[in-house]
Amino acid sequence: MNQGETSSHTLNQELGRYRLLKRVGKGGMGEVWLAEDPRLHRQVAIKTLPVHNQDDRDFLRRFEREAQAAATLNHPHILPVYDYGEQPLANGRSITYIVMPYVAGGVLSKRISAFRNSAMLMPAQEALQHLTQAAEAIDYAHDQGVVHRDIKPGNMLMRSENWLLLADFGIARIVSNEENLTQTGVGFGTPEYMAPEQAQGKAELSSDNYSLAVIGYQLFVGRLPFKAETAYATTIQHLMLPPPAPRQINPAISLATEQVLLQGLAKQAAQRPPTARAYVSELRQSLTGSASSTFYSLPAPPGSQPLHPSSQPGPSAMPVPTVDPTTTGATLASATTVISTGGKQAADQPTQRQKGIARRRLLIGVGGAATLIAAGGGLAAWISAAQLHAGSTQTQNTHFSGNSTPVADPDAPSLILRGHNSHTWSLAWSPLKDSLILASAGNTDDHQVLLWDIQQLQKQATSSQKPVVRQPFSGNDLLLVWSQDGKYLGIGGLNSESDLNATAVTVYANTLNTTAPGFDKPIAVGGSNVLYGLSWLQGKYLVTGQQILDLANLNGTDKIQIGAIDITQPQPQWIGTIIDGSLETLSSVSTNTTPFVASPDGSMLAINTLKGVLIGNLSIAGKTLKWQQKAAPFQLRQTQNNIQYQIDALTWSPDNQTLAAFTSETAEPSIVSWQWNNQKNVTQIGQSQQGLTTLAWCPVPSSPLLATGTKDGTVLIWDRTKNQSPIRSLNNGGIKAAVGTLAWSANGQWLAAGLQDNYGSILTWKIS
């Protein structure tokens, strides 16, 4: 796919159901069109991506994955995604597009240019305001497991002068491929704002924070830290050179502010502030100590155009220092202005500052050829309260009473486990009641499954607790499920092996050190690249659940597919069947809340759709798989107004007769239960003012206990027989991150929660 090939010469006046009005922007990653949505009678912005071959499954997989991830983001400073789709073109080509609100206020890059053209720096308070709003959006996305990969002022829309919207999540990753990942600066980010590790094809959460720090440097110093004649040369500077000292360019910057600006641009990700908000907080604190600052003037560039009134720099704008942009140190003109700045106490502790570039070896690809470069320098550690906490894996489990006497806190985590490179995607306890083995899988780019011996870890006095097994796996967003006898662990997810191009599953022995017979390689699951469920049937069938998206007919209905693999066969094969396609799309509150949930004995499946919950079972005869629906779709409705509420998560009771669910569409999230064969008998378990994310029923026979995760990391325990209020609230050990997944141990005595933080934290509590 040619990254420069766009769509303007191939499109007519319509794209899907949208009527194109005019092109309003064009860049290396696509075009932006002003369009009209005739169904909803509103104007929208449509981002069209470079055209591609219709059989390019890698591109379609990336597009679907990243567009879905972007569409789940809901934050006041993130431009929402309304819709996305694909439209066939002539000669076997297709174009994909993403639909967003139309924002007419321009972009932050134009506002920066307006100040630059007037030889002024943006006022410090305005700069902090923009950085703060961007940081909030970035950290929120990171909590959801989403990396932007192209943070820059051109992707920051201005709804008004004081309201910023971060846009284009996932675009850089959609248009990248293995070929252009070897061409530094092409197709997967913007060289002027790209972190060193991202230039090497290893983007991570901290890469976005680095890009924000480049913007911070640009706003307070008046120029970019690195800018060369070519994209490659700019990338080399990010990889090799220390940033020019801000005070050499603008001596009015305080030493404290200079240290923060440089810390954000540390070459090693671990040396940067742990979050975007932490960086802005440190920057604000450094400015608080500068009661007055002297800035320097720059003659207005020849031919400068008058500014739009809404873009005129305010009276407190700062003159930009005169400096040759190709040098790191220059003589500055005379002082002209004094300003004062304010701020508040930073949330994170003061840090040790960057002292140089870490000595390492850099591998950068240029036109398919690899160049090995050595860089030298000193190391400096970034130490913050968050990272000090992140280094610990066992909690104090105490609090202080009124007389300062330490008292055991029964609701604090017993253990905090960390071993994944990203937040935990799924958890599964061994079903053996005499075993406390916990399996965990990480999110995208982690590629590993871990086994934890909780019983053994509880006995250890050291905080350096490690998993007993660490098994690499070639998939992303992995789902885990133990066979009912505890002999096998099924693993499934998006497989990254080039010969599969789809979801795949495999089966390991319970020790995770060897695969089951016939599973030397993962077995491809046809029809979709998103796995929504994984379960066992009759102890020998590994069952998969998927949604098949129809990109050629986005206004139509999608199909639901169920598959099974008989693991007892010498050469196991996947077989599938399609069930009622009139159910529209599957429903899921978050990307790792599975819409397919199997009953504890593996005999029944509950499938959450937008038209209700399906209950049924599977029968297998040879290579034929049949789905038998057992009841009409269950719908959670308000009888007074006949409003149907979307169910966000499902779980089964231990006796396989009752389901529980919660919905976030009521005034307060509501938790209900019902018998699958008696849908009129609906019981409200309770309501919570906290945002719920997932839930799980205790597997002990006849247990009435359910656990729900929340957006702030708290886990609430409910008794189905005692309505309305949780009976217990388990605290998050000080880690403020949403609960992504929950799992009870087979004996009901332990509960584990995977948090969506940057450290892959897994909290475990001893319940009884």
Residue 309 has pLDDT above 80, yes or no: no
**pLDDT category, 595, cuts 50, 70, 90?**
confident
Contact between residue 708 and residue 715 where contact means Cβ atoms under 8 Å apart: yes
Tell me the pLDDT tens digit for each residue of 672-731: 999 998 887 888 888 887 788 899 999 999 999 999 999 888 999 999 888 678 999 998
Q: Flag whether 437 is in a domain.
A: no
Residue ranges of E strands in 376-518: 398-400, 406-408, 415-417, 424-429, 437-442, 448-453, 469-472, 475-482, 488-495, 503-509
pLDDT of residue 196: 93
Look at residues 84, 101, 118 and tell me which one is the last residue of a structural domain: 101
Residue 668 has pLDDT above 60, yes or no: yes
pLDDT of residue 592: 47
Tell me the pLDDT tens digit for each residue of 82-107: 888 888 887 788 888 889 888 888 89
Mean pLDDT throughout 165-177?
A: 70
Whether 88 and 222 share a structural domain: no
Whether 224 and 352 share a structural domain: yes
pLDDT of residue 27: 64
Contact between residue 320 and residue 260 where contact means Cβ atoms under 8 Å apart: no
Tell me the pLDDT tens digit for each residue of 682-693: 888 888 877 888
**pLDDT category, 40, cuts 50, 70, 90?**
confident
CA distances from residue 437 to 284, 420, 454, 488, 750 in whole angstroms, order as listed:
45, 17, 6, 13, 11
Whether 160 and 290 share a structural domain: yes
Residue 516 has pLDDT above 90, yes or no: yes
Coil vs helix vs strand at 408: strand
CATH, residue 30: 3.30.200.20
Range of weakest confidence among 111-125, 155-169, 196-210, 490-504: 490-504
Residue 321 has pLDDT above 90, yes or no: no
Residue 530 has pLDDT above 80, yes or no: no
Residue keyed to tokens 């766009």: 6
CA distance 62 to 173: 7
Residue keyed to tokens 């002297």: 294
Mean pLDDT throughout 442-462?
A: 81
Mean pLDDT throughout 428-446?
A: 87
pLDDT of residue 508: 95
pLDDT of residue 310: 33
Pick from 11, 49, 6, 761: which is nearest to 442 by CA? Answer: 761
Whether 591 and 736 share a structural domain: no
Whether 497 and 576 share a structural domain: yes
Provide Rg for the chain, Cα atoms. Answer: 27
DSSP bridge partners of 730: 715
Whether 486 and 539 share a structural domain: yes
Q: Flag whether 653 is in a domain.
A: yes
Whether 174 and 41 share a structural domain: no
Mean pLDDT throughout 414-441?
A: 89
Contact between residue 79 and residue 71 where contact means Cβ atoms under 8 Å apart: no
Q: What is the pTM of this model?
A: 0.52
Residue 411 has pLDDT above 80, yes or no: yes
Q: Flag whether 395 is in a domain.
A: yes
The whole-chain average pLDDT of the chain stands at 76
Whether 185 and 291 share a structural domain: yes
Coil vs helix vs strand at 188: coil
CA distances from residue 710 to 271, 661, 690 in whole angstroms, order as listed:
30, 14, 6
Contact between residue 479 and residue 594 where contact means Cβ atoms under 8 Å apart: yes
Q: Flag whether 279 is in a domain.
A: yes
What string of DSSP letters covers 62-108?
HHHHHHHHHHT---TTBPPP-EEEEEE-STTEEEEEEEEE---S-BH
**pLDDT category, 766, cuts 50, 70, 90?**
very high
Look at residues 101, 125, 147 and tell me which one is the last residue of a structural domain: 101
Whether 576 and 640 share a structural domain: no
Q: Flag whether 329 is in a domain.
A: no
Mean pLDDT throughout 380-399?
A: 34
**Strands 541-548, 559-566: pairing kind:** antiparallel
Q: Flag whether 325 is in a domain.
A: no
pLDDT of residue 488: 95
Q: Flag whether 307 is in a domain.
A: no
170 vs 451: which has the higher pLDDT: 451
CA distance 673 to 684: 7
Whether 661 and 623 share a structural domain: no
Look at residues 574, 598, 630 and tell me which one is the last residue of a structural domain: 630
Q: Flag whether 327 is in a domain.
A: no
pLDDT of residue 750: 95
User: What is the identity of the amino acid at 691?
Assistant: G
Whether 82 and 116 share a structural domain: no
CA distances from residue 592 to 276, 596, 602 in whole angstroms, order as listed:
24, 11, 20
pLDDT of residue 342: 33
CATH, residue 220: 1.10.510.10
Token couple for 7: 């769509």
Length of the chain: 768
The secondary structure of residue 515, as a DSSP letter, is B
Residue 362 has pLDDT above 70, yes or no: no
Token couple for 240: 């090799």
Token couple for 651: 């779980």
Long-range CB contact pairs, 560-566, < 8 A, 24+: 560/586, 560/607, 560/609, 561/527, 561/528, 562/596, 562/605, 562/618, 562/625, 562/627, 563/525, 563/526, 563/625, 564/537, 564/618, 564/620, 564/625, 565/505, 565/523, 565/541, 566/540, 566/541, 566/620
Residue 207 has pLDDT above 90, yes or no: yes
Mean pLDDT throughout 437-462?
A: 84
Tell me the pLDDT tens digit for each residue of 107-145: 999 999 988 888 889 999 999 999 999 999 999 989 888
Residue 359 has pLDDT above 70, yes or no: no
Whether 377 and 494 share a structural domain: no
Domain that holds residue 535: 473-630
Residue 591 has pLDDT above 60, yes or no: no
Mean pLDDT throughout 266-279?
A: 93
Contact between residue 496 and residue 474 where contact means Cβ atoms under 8 Å apart: yes
Domains identified in the chain, total number: 4
Residue 45 has pLDDT above 60, yes or no: yes
What positions carry a catalytic annotation? 150
pLDDT of residue 423: 81
Contact between residue 195 and residue 207 where contact means Cβ atoms under 8 Å apart: yes
